[in-house]
Structure 1
Amino acid sequence: MSKKLYKSRTNQMLCGVCGGIGEYLNIDPTLIRLLAVLLGCTTTGIVIYIVAAVIIPYEY
């Protein structure tokens, strides 16, 4: 059985991307959010987050 990456509906701030990644990696989503804020200071980080928010589906 393989794990799949989904945006979280229960652990979300904006789009649920960081919550979903945290659940997928079994780590605290707050750490992912802090990393996202650091990466968000660059244009590349913002583009990566937007692309992830568009292509990662919500969990059922």
Structure 2
Amino acid sequence: MDEKNIKQLRRTRDGRIIAGVCSGVGNYLGIDANLIRIGLAIATLFGGMGVGVYAIGWLLMPDEGSQTSIVQDLISKQQAKSSSTSTDTWQGTTDTWDDRPKPQQ
């Protein structure tokens, strides 16, 4: 199967009202995005779950034209930051041990 023919769940730019979650899910499922919006509005009115579901979709669904979601981008940045910080800290620690004055006898 060609990669162009594989259906992917993405936040879309066409039909976007806030972040494109409903239009992306609608395109993926082949239904009108307004039905998704109505469902989320009803879920928000009866228990508040609609806002949470929408926020999770926004964080986990990649934007159209992107391969990674917001959460994946944040995790990658944090991992890169922590790996460079741990290397700097380790090197700084060894430098500190070498620079300490030696006790006199």
TM-score (norm 2): 0.52
> For 1:56 and 1:10, how far apart are their aligned partners in 2?
15
Which runs of structure 2 are paired with 1:1-60 in the superposition (5 Å)? Answer: 1=1, 2-41=6-45, 42-60=47-65
Q: CA deviation at 1:47?
A: 1.4
Structure whose residues are more often helix by fraction: 2
Greater RCO, CA 8 A, separation 6+? 1
Q: Which has the larger radius of gyration?
A: 2
Pairwise CA RMSD: 1.3
Identity %: 33
Give unpaired runs (5+ residues) of structure 2. 66-105
Give unpaired runs (5+ residues) of structure 1. none
After the TM superposition, which segments of 4 or more aligned residues of structure 1 sit over 3 Å from their partners? Answer: none
